[in-house]
Amino acid sequence: MVTLLPVSVLPLVFTSGWASGINAYAVVLLLGIFGATGLTDEVPESLQRPDVLIVAGVLFLCEAVADKIPYVDSAWDTVHTVIRPVSGAVVGALLAGQSGSLSDLAAGAVGGTTALASHTVKAGTRMAINTSPEPFSNFAMSSAEDLGVGGVVTFAMFHPQAAAIIAAVLLVLGLLVLFFLIRRIRRFLRRRAQRREEKRIARETPPP
């Protein structure tokens, strides 16, 4: 069994918050499985309940499908604008309550804020991909996100501090990528509007 030290709860809360902003159901499912199998004693029993694991598993499968379909993924992200940050806050508070080394309120704030930030990156990037003229693959992006969440959360069970650093780096990189995609798409839309205007003027201008 891997027993996490009390001081490790903050990195774990941050990492679970980042992951919740991308796929909240995967976080609940993974943490519940880790706790139920005895991998760690830092997971509260409320996340290990069979009914919680079943519901999280079903919703994870639903998200795995919806998240790979263009525009359906953006609609799904819109619905989860509240769900993911709330899930990150609740999971963070539960982890803090289990450890006793951090107040529930502080942990909830960290988990919820981090989840909101990573959700913004995920939703914004996916919307940019859907409207981009470039041949981006929603399936590839969604699969990478699922693997990233699974890998980082699993790594956090053994090395919470290192996992938190990885999550922070991925969050910053995600913000930079989102900024780059938005600028690129805005330039494309401006050029397309300019070409349309030029064509309209050419049609309305009488020949000499």
pLDDT in tens, 113-159: 999 999 999 998 888 888 766 556 778 888 899 999 999 999 999 89
Please indicate, yes or no, if residue 60 is contained in any of the structural domains.
yes
Q: How many domains are contained in the chain?
A: 1
Residue 27 lies in a domain: yes
The whole-angstrom separation of Cα 72 and Cα 64 is 12
Above 70 in pLDDT, residue 7?
no
Which structural domain, as residue segments, surrounds residue 101? 6-204
| Confidence class for position 105, pLDDT limits 50, 70, 90 | confident
Looking at residue 200, its pLDDT comes to 63
Render pLDDT for 28-76 as a digit per residue (tens, 0 to 9): 999 999 999 988 888 889 999 999 999 999 999 999 999 988 889 989 9
Q: Does residue 1 form part of some domain?
A: no
Q: Which one, of 80, 41, 78, 39, lies nearest residue 59 by Cα?
A: 80
User: Which residue has tokens 């990189």?
Assistant: 173
* Whether 96 contacts 103, CB under 8 Å: yes
The DSSP result for 103-163, as a single string, is -HHHHHHHHHHHHHHHHHHHHHHHHHHHH-SS---HHHHHHHHHHHHHHHHHHHHH-HHHH
